[in-house]
Structure formats: C-alpha cells, structure tokens
Structure 1
Amino acid sequence: MRKHTINPYNYYSIQPNKQNESAKVSIIYHGWGGSALGYRDLAEELAGEGFNVVVPEIIYHDTRQKLADHFESKTVQDYFWETIMTTIDEFHDFVNTLGIDKENVILIGSSMGGCIANGIFAREPMVEGLVNMNGSGSFVLTERLFRERDGRGDIPDQLKKRLMDYDPVDSEPGLSPVLLMHGDSDAIMPIEGQMDYDRYLKENRRHVDFRVYEGVNHQITSDMIGDLIRWLNGLSK
C-alpha cells in the first residue's frame, strides 16, 4: 500500500488488479487501538478482486494525535465514542478531498471501525454498501452494555444525547445492501448491537445479510474474509 497525505488526512491506498478492475472504492476503517497498516493484507486481497482500496488513518491513532495507551480504562471511556463521532463527521470532507464519488463507496469496518462505517452509512444514503464486522449499529444499546459489563452507572444525559444524534437505529435507513458479520462468542463488542441493528433494518428496509460465526471471539477469521469477498463480488455484478 502507498501512503498519502492531504491535510489534515493521512491514508493508504492500493490499486486494483487491472484484469478485474472495478470503479468501486472500498474504504476500510480499523478497530480501536489498531492501525491503518494493520489492514494491509485485507486491502491487498480486495485489490486482487479488482477493488480500489483506501484505508484512512483515524484520529487518535497512527500519526493523528495518537494516544499513549488506548486500552487504559479512562482513555477508552473518554475517547472511544469521540473517535467514532469525529470520524463520521470527517467522511464528507474526506471523500471530497480524495475526489471519490460516494455512489462508488463501499464502507467496511471492523470493531470500532464497524461502528464508524455504520454511522457514516446511516448519514450517507448514496453509498454503495456497508460491511460491519464485529462492530455495532446500535450505539446507545452498546454503551449501555459496556457499562453493565464494567459495573458503571447509567449513561450520563449529555453522552446519551450525543450518541442518539449519531445512532444508526435512530436514522432513516437507505436501500443499499448491508452485510453484518459477528462472532457469537465476542467478549469485546457485544453481538447484541449487531442484532438490534439487524432487527431495525429488517423492520424498515431490504438488502440485509446478517452472518453469525459460531465459536468466534473478537476476530476476523478466514471464513469471514471469504464471505466478505463473495459479497463484494456480488455487488459488482
């Protein structure tokens, strides 16, 4: 992958296999505490299938005000949702800066990146599709589950209001295809967030494919990648 800098954004890109070249652009968002370069292998696989791939550096990661310890509990509580909401807000300017047509964009995210991709998708009905891997499309519910797991109190009113402003289950759904993927043994990101978003979409729209992977914790497996590639290839036909 090749690194680019167009202030204030840093991102990596890889060109598609020319034999299968597609106009579609897969934008991949990584998880909390991860890095853009950590998705090099997935980006190369998608490029081999003919897709242009862009992997942005996310605020508070890589070279963008990187936090000292992403997994210190107070840091997670202070910055996790802030990172998601800031990145959602950046999307319009980011794709305009890169000269990408939203109609050609497929949003792909893993864990925190799945929340980001989902949040963008809820605001951008013209994008081509969404893949949420081990993330959540139900923000308030997921924060409530985080707090129950950690033994914290109710969501403060100010945070709850902000989450509701971004929550995909409070947004009018578009008609573009959606692929939700989650391990049923995920101990980091509760699967209930995906289940709630799946329920919401199926009550309001079509084109939802929810795949649950038995015995899988918070990880991307080879089965997931295979299903992702087949799903993406189905979009390009």
Structure 2
Amino acid sequence: MLRKETNGFSYDFYEPKDVKKDISIVLFHGWGSTVESQKELATRLTKHGYSVIVPEIIYHDDRQPLGNYLSKEIKYAYFWKTVMVSIDEASAFYKLLNIPTENLVLMGISMGGFIVNGTIAAHDQFAGLVNINGSGSFVLSEQLFRVMDDQPEMTDKEKQLLENYDPIKKGRLKAPILMLHGTQDTQVSIEGQKNYYTYLTEQLRKTNVFFNEYSDINHTISDEMIEDLIQWLNQLTLS
C-alpha cells in the first residue's frame, strides 16, 4: 500500500501483483470510519487483480476530524455535509488520479454508498457503481433516520437541499450498478436501497442493476457479500 498526497487530497493506493483487467476501484468508507479500516477489504480485492484507491473523506482522518461520531448532534450537523462536499469535490479528485473515469468503479460502504451514488448521478461516466449498506434515495433515507432517532421532520429548506443531490431526482445512470444490503440493518435502513432499485428498474427501466439482500445481516459486510462483489467485478465489461 502507498499513501499518496496531491493538491489537498490524500489516499491509500493498493496495487495488485497481477492485474486482472483495466479497472480501478475507488472505495469510500462509512461515517466515523477511517481509511485504515478498509485495508483488509482493499487487500482482498487486489488479490483478485484490482487496483484499489481509498480516499480520505472530509471530516475524517486528517481532514478536520470531528471526534465523537456517535453524537446525534454531530451526526445531524455533519453527515449530509460530508456527503455533499464529497460529491462536490469529485471532479477535482478524479482528475488528479490521472485514470480515465471510464475505468473507475465507485464503491461505497454505508455513508460511502451515499457518496458514490450521488457522485455517479451527477457525473455518469464511470465503469460501475457498488453500494454496500448505503442508499441512493437521500430524502427517504433521511426521513427514516429521523424516525429511528426520534428527531423532528425536515424543514422545507432541508428537504430542498437534499433533493438537489438526491440521485432519485437524476435521470442518468448508464453505468452498471450493484447494491448489497443486510435485511437486518439497524443503522441504514434497507428501504432506501429498495426504493432506489424500484426507481432504477421501473422509472429508468435499467436492466444492468442488481440488488442482493442478505438475511440476518446487520450493518456489516459478510463473506457472501464480498464473494458476490468479486463475481460481479469479474463479469464487468468496459464500454
């Protein structure tokens, strides 16, 4: 693994010994997590021939870390701000990588899933999208968060801001999509993924989208999820 820093962005780069195909994976971690926490998964993916890039996310690691990520006050002040800043800075970051975006698969776990969904909806020129225990339905997911945390409903201003980034409002998405989610997830409800899958398949009529549910899995990544991910990556073809 190599730590790289350029123009204000830092990321870990994992290079495989044997390149399987000309695809690199950009892996975004979840809320309150770290770049280092993705080492095991990134290393496992390189063993299958894929380069993996794990970027530092705003308000995490060395980019203005927040401290107590379990605090509801911090979560509601910074969760969506983190997602939105990451989407906004996507173009600058991918330009610095010097890798054609057509060769990049965006992959996100939990909050990272929100980030990559928002990014690909705004800049649909990537090789594929993987969302694990996240959501592509921003407004619905925030409504579910607030019910779960016994928080007041969104104001009209808050809802409008989310709608500006909500992938469910974007009529694009040519790239293949893989969504994996545990049915017993108590942190990010699977209903957000279900709603987004319905939008993709019924309204956009996408046929290159796959949604796998995993019984008795909470907010974690199982071996079965990783096996399904690797199988999907191995079958992925570049346009």
Same fold? TM cut 0.5: yes
Query: Aligned residue for 1:103?
Result: 102
> What is aligned with 1:233?
234
Tell me the CA shift for residue 60 of structure 1: 0.4
User: 2 CA distance for matches of 1:152 and 1:21?
Assistant: 47
**Which residue number corresponds to residue 165 of structure 1?**
164
RMSD between aligned residues: 1.1
* Partners of 1:36 and 1:55 within 8 A in 2: yes
- Establish whether residue 201 from structure 1 lines up as the match of residue 200 from structure 2: yes
Task: Tell me the TM-score normalised to structure 1 length.
Answer: 0.97
Deviation at 1:236, TM superposition (A): 4.4
Alignment match, 1:12: 12
Number of the residue aligned with 1:219: 220
Q: Which residue matches 2:117?
A: 118
Q: Which residue is 2:86 aligned to?
A: 87
Q: Which residue of 2 aligns with 1:189?
A: 188
Q: Which secondary structure does the structure 2 equivalent of 1:103 belong to?
A: helix
Within 1, Cα distance between the matches of 2:98 and 2:152?
Answer: 44
Which residue pairs with 1:70 in the alignment? 69
Cα separation, 1, equivalents of 2:172 and 2:223: 30
CA distance in 2, matches of 1:17, 1:179: 26
Matches of 2:8 and 2:157 in 1, distance apart? 28
2 CA distance for matches of 1:206 and 1:236? 15
CA deviation profile, 1:30-76 (whole Å, cap 9, x unmatched): 00000011111111111111111100000000010011111111000
Q: For residue 214 of structure 2, what is the amino acid of its counterpart?
A: Y
Long gaps (5+) in structure 2: none
Assess if the C-alpha contact under 8 Å between 1:182 and 1:212 holds in 2.
yes
Q: Equivalents in 2 of 1:17, 1:211: separation in Å? A: 30
Take 1:174 and 1:33, find their aligned partners in 2: how far apart are those partners? 28
Whichever residue aligns with residue 16 of structure 1, its letter is: P
Is it true that 1:155 corresponds to 2:134 in the alignment?
A: no
SS at match of 2:227: helix
SS in 2 for 1:82: helix
2:142 aligned partner: 143
Contact 1:17 1:51 in 2 (8 A): no
* Structure 1 residue 173 displacement after superposition: 2.7
Q: Return the alpha-carbon distance in structure 2 between the equivalents of residues 17 and 43 of structure 1.
A: 13
The answer as to whether partners of 1:4 and 1:12 remain within 8 angstroms in 2 is yes
Aligned residues: 236
Equivalent residue letter for 2:2: R
Taking structure 2 as the reference length, what is the TM-score of the superposition? 0.96
- Give 1:113 deviation, angstroms: 0.4
Output the CA distance in 2 between the equivalents of 1:32 and 1:132.
14
Match of 1:130 in 2: 129
The offset of 1:193, in angstroms, is 0.4
